[in-house]
Copies of this chain bind each other. A is one copy, B any other.
Amino acid sequence: MASPQAFAVILGGGAGTRLWPSSRRARPKQLLSLGGPESLLAAAVRRARAVVGLERTLIVTAADQEAAVRADIPALPRENVIAEPVPRNTAAAVGLGAVAAARRAGRDAIIAVFPADPYIGDEATFERLVRLAVAEARETIVTIGVRPTHAETGYGYLRVGARLPRPPGGDPVHEVAGFVEKPDLPTAERYLASGEYLWNSGMFFLTAGRMLDESRRHLPGLGSLLDAAIAAPNPAAAIAAGYKDVPSISIDNGIMEKTSGLRVVPGEFGWNDVGSWAALPAVRRPDARGNVVLGGATLIDGEGSIVVAEEGAPFVGVVGVRDLVVVATRDAILVVPKDRAQDVRKVVEAAKQAGRTDLL
C-alpha cells in the first residue's frame, strides 16, 4: 500500500476449542501451524506487512495470550501488540486498534481489520483485493466478501448490492445491501444458488476517525472510552480503567449492521476459517487417498482421515480407518469421525467436568 497512513489491525484473541486438543485457551487456533510451517497469526502478519509494513501492523489480543503472541512474532515492535485488559469482543478490539492508529497518524489513518485465524491460499489475489479495499476506505467502510463455495451454515453472509462505477479493468466494488446471520441449510442453499451472497470474512477497512464516530453513535460506552484514550496523556491507563465496562459485542452486530454506505470487494482467494479438524485437508494437501498426516504419526490403510501427532505426543499408530480424525498432544488425545468434528466440544466439556482445567 502506497499510503503511509494505513495500519493493519489483526484480531488475535479468541478461545478456539474447535481444534482441541491442539488449541487451548493459552494456545488459541491462530498460534497453531495449521497451514504450513508458520502459525496462522504469523501468516496474517506476513500478509499485512506486505501491504502496510511491519511497523504499522498491530495485533490486538487477550491479556493471557499476549506473551504467546509476542513469542510467535518476535520481529513485531513491542508497542504493536495491544492486549485487551479483559476480553470484550471485536467492536472494542477494533476500537483499540483505531486509538493506536489515530494517535500515531491522525484520524484519517486507515485501519485494515483482519481476523488472525483464517487460512488464505491465494495470497497474490488477496493482496490485490486488500489494496483495493484500503483505497476505497478513504471514503467509507469497506469489507471483503468471500464467494461461497458451498452452502455453509456456520458463517454469516452479506448480500451484494449494486456494482459501483469504477475504471475498467479493475476488480469490482459493490454496495452492501445487508448483513445476514448464519442461515439454516435451505436458506444457505438459496444464497449459494442466487449468486447474490458472500461469506462475511470479518475483514473491514475504514478510517480510524470513522471507527471512533461509529462507536460514539452505536456503542456510546465504547465511543467515550476511545475518545478519552485518544485525548489522554497515557492512553493505556485510560483504557485499563474503563475497558471492563464497554459493551461486549462483535463489530458486525455492534456497528456494521447498523451503519450504511458500506462497500464490498468480492473475492475468491482460497479462504478457509479452519473451523474444525475436518477443514485440515483444505489447507494441507491430502495424499492420494485423501489423508492428511502430520507430525510423524503413522497411518496405514487409511482413507479420508486426519492424523496429527504434535511434538511431545506419544507414538500414534492408526490402521484401517476411514474419515476419522485422530489428534494427539503431549497430554490429550482426540478421536472423532470427520463428519462429527464439531463434537470436539463435548470432549472438552467432559474434560472440564472431570476437573481437568489443565486441558482447556
Chain A residues in the interface with B (C-beta under 8 A): 21, 298, 300-301, 313-321, 324, 326, 328-337, 340, 343-344, 346-348, 350-351, 354, 356, 359
Contacts and interface: CB of A to CB of B under 8 A. Distances in A.
8 contacts: A298-B354, A300-B350, A314-B333, A317-B335, A317-B351, A318-B347, A319-B334, A319-B344
Contact of A298 (B320, B330, B350): B350
A343 B300 contact: yes
B343 A316 contact: no
Contact of A343 (B301, B337, B347): B301
B314 A343 contact: no
Given A343-B300, A343-B301, A343-B319, A328 B333 contact: yes
Q: Is the interface of A mostly helix, strand, loop or mixed?
A: mixed
> What is the total number of copies of this protein in its complex?
2
Nearest to A296: B354
Contact of A317 (B298, B313, B314, B332): B332
Contact of A300 (B318, B324, B347): B347
Given A298-B347, A300-B347, A335 B321 contact: yes
Contacts of A330: 314
Contacts of A331: 314-315
Contacts of A318: 334-336, 347
Nearest to A337: B320
A320 B300 contact: no
A295 B102 CA distance: 57
B333 A320 contact: no
Given A336-B320, A343-B320, A351 B314 contact: no
A24 to B, nearest CB: 12
B343 A335 contact: no
Nearest to A345: B319
Given A298-B354, A351-B298, A315 B336 contact: no
A326 B335 contact: yes
Chain B CB within 10 Å, residue with most, of A318, A319, A343, A346: A319
Contacts of A314: 313-314, 328-333
Contacts of A328: 314, 333
Contacts of A346: 300-301, 319
